Amino acid sequence: MNKSKKTSAASFNPEEHSHRRYNPLRAEWVLVSPHRSTRPWQGQQEDSARPAEVMHDAGCYLCPGNQRVNGERNPVYDGPFVFTNDFAALQEEERIQSRTPHSLLLNQPVRGTSRVICYSPHHSRTLPQMSVDSINQLVDCWSQQLIELSATYQWVQIFENKGSVMGCSNPHPHGQIWAMDQLPTEAQKEEQNLLQYHNQYRSNLLLDYVKTEIELDQRIIEKSNEWVALVPYWAIWPFELLLVPINPARHLDDLSAAQKSDLALILKKITSRYDNLFQCSFPYSMGWHGQPFNKETNHHWQLHAHFYPPLLRSATIKKHMVGFEMLAEPQRDITPEQAAEKLRNCDPIHYLETKI
């Protein structure tokens, strides 16, 4: 009779051994495999060509004064410029729910709007290359759009896809704002887990988490009087960041004057560290999560921004979510602590700016 060999348990070191980490915001796990970070790479490499510095592109439909696809002409704007997307993903008209053919074939109408926000008139100045004053204008614009749209819609998603590798179809620095009358999937996950934590501990999950990270000081990239930027303990993407106010704020319209003032500077610093990491215009998807506008108090919510960048080892090697990630759960090779150290070692002053 064959008996399986008994092996004694070896000591566990999360810096060297495979393990899973729990994300309390999503109630999901991520597999961490730090021993794989030294494996050779012969897969796809992205183009790292540095774009030329261009103030105005006559062929760009986002530049000031230029004509867009629908025939409308942009004003000669000198700050953030917002317009309804010419190919909006959401429609404003109300629709009546139709009868679904089967309980496994559910659908429901959704009402909303999609807007584009040009960050500045400069065609090639991305967020880290903008002045702090210009980023302040952008923060104010985000807040104004939120106030306007939240009067009609339950969820307002402010986000940016930076770089062609993230599907950005126009290099002019811009973001988007999608608003809808229902909570989208990711918002539902955070709503459920933030509320559950609040009910169980009578405390705010993200404020408690930020306090813990500040005490440990292992994954923090930038910290000011009002904000902290860190690689979350449960990060999925190689150099993922979480940006959170240290004091309570449920959304951008809830920020104090001090929080707003600090936000512009910390945004410039963390995105400069990104660009400095591989000496390139660092691609990412980022977006703001805050309370839904459902006429509730929402004390369990805390404003935060997610940064999801795909680059792994260099300006030309991208992390792909395939195989195990698609069929089982997300996986990463370098630990969040290693990623945090690499970003901390980067200068917060952009490599294309003159240091004084």
If one compares 262 and 15, the residue with the highest pLDDT of the two is: 262
Q: What CATH topology corresponds to 185-344?
A: HIT family, subunit A (3.30.428)
Average pLDDT of 40-60? 65
Closest CA to 283 of 252, 334, 319: 319
Binned at pLDDT 50, 70 and 90, residue 49 comes out as low
Predicted confidence (pLDDT) per residue in 265-320, tens digit: 999 999 999 999 999 999 999 999 999 999 999 999 999 999 999 998 888 778 88
pLDDT of residue 354: 62
Query: Is pLDDT above 90 for 19?
Result: yes
pLDDT of residue 9: 67
Closest CA to 252 of 239, 234, 267, 240: 267
**b/e map 323-333, b = 16+ CB within 10 Å:** eebeeeebbbb
Q: Look up tokens 């660092």; give the residue.
A: 282
Check residue 307 and report its DSSP letter.
E
pLDDT of residue 6: 54
Query: Is pLDDT above 50 for 26?
Result: yes
pLDDT of residue 293: 97
Mean pLDDT over the full length of the chain: 91
Query: From CA 72, how far away is CA 68, in angstroms rounded?
Result: 6
Residue in 122, 123, 172, 174 annotated catalytic: 174
Of 40-44, 103-107, 201-205, minimum mean pLDDT range = 40-44
Question: Can you list the alpha helix ranges (DSSP code H) found in 92-236?
Answer: 132-150, 185-201, 205-216
pLDDT of residue 12: 80
Query: Is pLDDT above 80 for 46?
Result: no
pLDDT of residue 139: 97
Predicted confidence (pLDDT) per residue in 124-182, tens digit: 999 999 999 999 999 999 999 999 999 999 999 999 999 888 878 899 999 999 999 99
pLDDT of residue 168: 85
HSE of 224, CA atoms in CB hemisphere, 13 A = 19
pLDDT of residue 92: 86
Predicted confidence (pLDDT) per residue in 219-251, tens digit: 999 999 999 999 999 999 999 999 999 999 999
Average pLDDT of 24-52? 68
Query: Is pLDDT above 80 for 40?
Result: no
Predicted confidence (pLDDT) per residue in 54-101, tens digit: 899 999 999 999 999 899 999 999 999 999 999 899 988 888 887 888
DSSP 122-153: -SS--GGGS-HHHHHHHHHHHHHHHHHHHTT-
CB-CB contact of 81 with 117 (8 Å): yes
Q: Is the pTM of this model over 0.95?
A: no
pLDDT of residue 8: 57
pLDDT of residue 210: 98
Q: 174 catalytic, yes or no?
A: yes
